[in-house]
């Protein structure tokens, strides 16, 4: 176990008993070294945690929302104080380059600030009643226990999007993180506990963390007292979770795969497009759900754009993500590298012309999996292009008319993020219109990834339909009640119905 990891975990308040002597081996994707052996919960533990979380909910729901916001404010303070350490742990465990690790913790801080403001704005409506002496209103009330399933690629930020909102909404949280990133989860939980310790009158078990395998996740998904399951990860995971939650009429918030495209039109600012595509496609080694996986370029500029991208791609510095200057860190594990190779083989078979994609730094790091970012010129949008491979592979395609480009962009089963680079206002407006991109996120002159927390985040089709983070995503964490109040001395029935004795 590296002293670096141990020092970070100590500084973040995680006792060594939590990450030694367990059964879940944690390896750093940077060099393959074991950095912890974490204790795993059982399905039985999960069921007990849900009961505890529900008991906490019965108290927490009665705490005024702005007071609930105060806890999230304190948590935001802890995150600010420990940003550097938590960011380094994210780099160690998930392999992100330093500035992206820091960016991830910044996203947590930002959503805390957002949630604190929100805690004074959980508003409903007053609606005109058709009856005299009556008033109708709509309230948003706390929902219950929220189960959060998170993925390795944003091991802590996505949990924060969910929990910061859930907590101000009066809910309690149970977190089942990815089995690949339990250490950052332990550290985040420890920081949360510090905030709780500084908050007077917090019930125990407001937010619980349970590391474990799929059976632990299933116990959460199936439990009738988990009012909402918010799950981020692959479409395959969503297909397993969604129907199980639906079978018990629970609520689900799914944020699943993306297959995000950027359309580049003849009027585009080419320098901007190249930079936007490079970060979108290869940032985080292609392991964001918002990663740019396809470029759809007009035939008049396609060859020039793709040549520039290919040249810049080959210059991206690959290496230890914690060393300054490196922009491409490792893939999370061997399975991920193998999936990348399989996708590239399929792309070749389907007529693709592949640059890059080889393994990098294998001699220096035989137990880690770095890959040269790949660019694949495709003759058409074949099957492999429609599939999300969670790796740095960018497919390029040509189009003739904007309608054709939009049709290609929308032709895939996923619907998370999308973008157009253009200086033509007609093209830009068409792209964001009803007949434009069918994704949850549609951008103009910026890439597909790196969304701000202020907007609702999520997408359509196989992406699952959920919305997390900003805007009115909070409504998913509350139950809506419609109240009609009669302040008259009569009892008129709606729709003019008479029922007099
Ligand atoms: C994810 O990959 O699951 O928009 C989330 C982005 C980040 C969040 C990505 N803010 O790229």
Residue 55: per-residue pLDDT: 98
Q: pLDDT (tens digit, 9 = 90+) per residue, 117-175?
A: 999 999 999 999 999 999 999 999 999 999 999 999 999 999 999 999 999 999 999 99
CA-CA distance, 295 to 95, in Å (whole number)?
26
In a domain, 490, yes or no: no
Count of the separate structural domains present in the chain? 2
- Identify the residue whose tokens are 């409504």: 475
194 Cα–ligand 1 center, Å: 27
3-state secondary structure of 137: strand
Burial class from Cβ neighbours inside 10 Å (0-12, 13-18, 19+) for residue 139 reads: middle
Q: pLDDT (tens digit, 9 = 90+) per residue, 184-206?
A: 999 999 999 999 999 999 999 99
231 Cα–ligand 1 center, Å: 14
Q: Percent of the chain having pLDDT more than 70?
A: 100
Assess whether 314 and 437 both reside in one domain. yes
Assess whether 39 and 158 both reside in one domain. yes
Of all atoms in ligand 1, which is nearest to the CA of residue 107? 10
Residue 69: per-residue pLDDT: 98
Residue 3: per-residue pLDDT: 77
Assess whether 251 and 266 both reside in one domain. no
* Residue 163 to residues 356, 404, 468, Cα–Cα distance (Å): 39, 41, 11
Assess whether 134 and 159 both reside in one domain. yes
Sheet holding 353-355, edge to edge: 353-355, 374-377, 393-399, 292-298, 260-264, 417-421, 441-444
Assess whether 252 and 324 both reside in one domain. no
Of all atoms in ligand 1, which is nearest to the CA of residue 232? 3
CA-CA distance, 432 to 412, in Å (whole number)?
18
Asked if 361 contacts 319 with a C-beta cutoff of 8 angstroms, the reply is: yes
Taking each continuous run of H as one helix and of E as one strand, the counts in the chain are 14, 23
Q: What is the DSSP letter of 367?
A: T
Of all atoms in ligand 1, which is nearest to the CA of residue 451? 4
1 has pLDDT over 60: no
In a domain, 449, yes or no: no
In a domain, 47, yes or no: yes
Q: pLDDT (tens digit, 9 = 90+) per residue, 48-72?
A: 999 999 999 999 999 999 999 999 9
Q: Whose CA is nearest to atom 7 of ligand 1?
A: 450
Assess whether 246 and 373 both reside in one domain. no
3-state secondary structure of 3: helix
181 Cα–ligand 1 center, Å: 16
What the block records as the tokens of 32 is 């393959």
CA-CA distance, 438 to 442, in Å (whole number)?
8
162 Cα–ligand 1 center, Å: 13
Q: Which residues of 107-125 are buried (b: 16+ CB within 10 A; e: fewer)?
A: bbbbbbebbbebbeebeee
Assess whether 206 and 67 both reside in one domain. yes
Residue 8: per-residue pLDDT: 97
Asked if 167 contacts 207 with a C-beta cutoff of 8 angstroms, the reply is: yes
Q: What is the DSSP letter of 463?
A: T
* Residue 207 to residues 112, 413, 431, 440, Cα–Cα distance (Å): 15, 35, 41, 29
What the block records as the tokens of 51 is 């009961």
What is the domain-level CATH number for residue 294? 3.40.309.10
In a domain, 469, yes or no: yes
Which phi and psi (to 5°) does residue 287 adopt? Answer: -110, 40
- Mean pLDDT across the chain: 97
In a domain, 97, yes or no: yes
- Identify the residue whose tokens are 């944003």: 154
Q: pLDDT (tens digit, 9 = 90+) per residue, 391-418?
A: 999 999 999 999 999 999 999 999 999 9
Assess whether 25 and 92 both reside in one domain. yes
Q: pLDDT (tens digit, 9 = 90+) per residue, 271-296?
A: 999 999 999 999 999 999 999 999 99
450 Cα–ligand 1 center, Å: 6
What the block records as the tokens of 475 is 């409504």
What is the domain-level CATH number for residue 469? 3.40.605.10
Pocket test for ligand 1, best of 109, 111, 451 (most atoms within 8 A of CB): 451
Residue 131: per-residue pLDDT: 97
What the block records as the tokens of 112 is 């805390």
Asked if 291 contacts 246 with a C-beta cutoff of 8 angstroms, the reply is: no
Assess whether 319 and 434 both reside in one domain. yes
Domain of 323 in residue numbering reads as 260-444
Assess whether 338 and 478 both reside in one domain. no
Q: Percent of the chain having pLDDT more than 90?
A: 99
Of all atoms in ligand 1, which is nearest to the CA of residue 417? 4
CA-CA distance, 417 to 289, in Å (whole number)?
9
Assess whether 136 and 43 both reside in one domain. yes
In a domain, 191, yes or no: yes
So which residues are the catalytic ones?
255
Q: Whose CA is nearest to atom 1 of ligand 1?
A: 289
Q: In terms of Cα–Cα distance, which of 490, 459, 494, 453 is closest to 474?
A: 453
Q: pLDDT (tens digit, 9 = 90+) per residue, 297-346?
A: 999 999 999 999 999 999 999 999 999 999 999 999 999 999 999 999 99
* Residue 448 to residues 199, 261, 270, 397, 466, Cα–Cα distance (Å): 39, 7, 16, 17, 18
Of all atoms in ligand 1, which is nearest to the CA of residue 457? 4
153 Cα–ligand 1 center, Å: 9
Q: How many CB atoms lie within 10 A of CB 158?
A: 28
Average pLDDT over residues 28-44: 97
In a domain, 497, yes or no: no
Residue 263: per-residue pLDDT: 98
In a domain, 450, yes or no: no
- Ligand 1 site, CB within 6 A: 107, 153-154, 158, 232, 288-290, 449-451
Q: pLDDT (tens digit, 9 = 90+) per residue, 197-237?
A: 999 999 999 999 999 999 999 999 999 999 999 999 999 99
Assess whether 55 and 117 both reside in one domain. yes
């Amino acid at each position: 176990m590296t002293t670096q990891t141990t020092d970070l975990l100590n500084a973040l308040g995680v006792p060594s008993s939590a990450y030694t002597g367990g059964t879940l081996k944690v390896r750093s994707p940077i060099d393959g070294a074991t950095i912890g052996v974490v204790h795993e919960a059982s399905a039985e533990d999960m069921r007990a945690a849900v009961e505890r979380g529900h008991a906490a909910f019965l108290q927490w729901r009665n705490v005024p929302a702005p007071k609930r916001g105060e806890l999230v404010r304190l948590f935001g303070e802890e995150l600010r104080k420990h940003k550097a350490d938590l960011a380094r742990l994210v780099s160690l465990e998930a392999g992100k380059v330093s500035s992206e690790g820091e960016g991830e913790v910044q996203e947590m801080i930002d959503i805390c600030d957002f949630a604190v403001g929100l805690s004074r704005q959980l508003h409903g409506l007053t609606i005109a009643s058709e009856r005299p002496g009556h008033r109708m209103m709509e309230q948003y009330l706390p929902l219950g226990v929220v189960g959060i399933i998170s993925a390795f690629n944003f091991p802590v930020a996505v949990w924060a999007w969910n929990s910061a909102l859930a907590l101000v909404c009066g809910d309690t949280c149970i977190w089942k993180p990815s089995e690949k990133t339990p250490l950052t989860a332990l550290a985040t939980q420890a920081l949360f506990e510090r905030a709780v310790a500084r908050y007077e009158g917090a019930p125990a078990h407001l937010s619980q963390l349970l590391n474990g395998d799929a059976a632990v996740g299933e116990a959460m998904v199936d439990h009738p007292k988990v009012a909402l399951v918010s799950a981020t990860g692959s479409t395959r995971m969503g297909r397993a979770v969604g129907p199980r939650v639906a079978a018990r009429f629970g609520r689900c918030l799914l944020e699943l795969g993306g297959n995000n495209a950027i359309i580049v039109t003849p009027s585009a600012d080419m320098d901007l497009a190249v930079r936007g595509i490079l970060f979108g496609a290869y940032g985080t080694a292609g392991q964001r759900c918002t990663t740019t996986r396809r470029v759809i370029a007009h035939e008049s500029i396609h060859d020039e754009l793709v040549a520039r991208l290919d040249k810049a791609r080959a210059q991206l510095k690959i290496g230890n993500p914690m060393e300054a200057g490196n922009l491409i860190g490792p893939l999370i594990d061997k399975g991920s590298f193998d999936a990348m190779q399989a996708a590239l083989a399929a792309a070749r078979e389907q007529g693709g012309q592949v640059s890059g994609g080889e393994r990098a730094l294998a001699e220096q790091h035989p137990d880690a999996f770095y890959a040269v970012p790949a660019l694949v010129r495709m003759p058409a949008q074949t099957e492999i292009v429609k599939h999300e491979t969670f790796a740095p592979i960018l497919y390029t395609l040509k189009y003739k008319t904007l309608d054709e480009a939009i049709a290609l962009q929308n032709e895939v089963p996923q619907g998370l993020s999308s973008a157009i680079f253009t200086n033509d206002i007609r093209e830009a407006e068409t792209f964001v219109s009803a007949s434009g991109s069918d994704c949850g996120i549609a951008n103009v002159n910026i890439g597909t990834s790196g969304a701000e927390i202020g907007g609702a985040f999520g997408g359509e089709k196989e992406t699952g339909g959920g919305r997390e983070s900003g805007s009115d995503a909070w409504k998913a964490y509350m139950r809506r009640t419609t109240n009609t109040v009669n302040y008259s001395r009569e009892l008129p029935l709606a729709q003019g119905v008479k029922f007099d004795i």
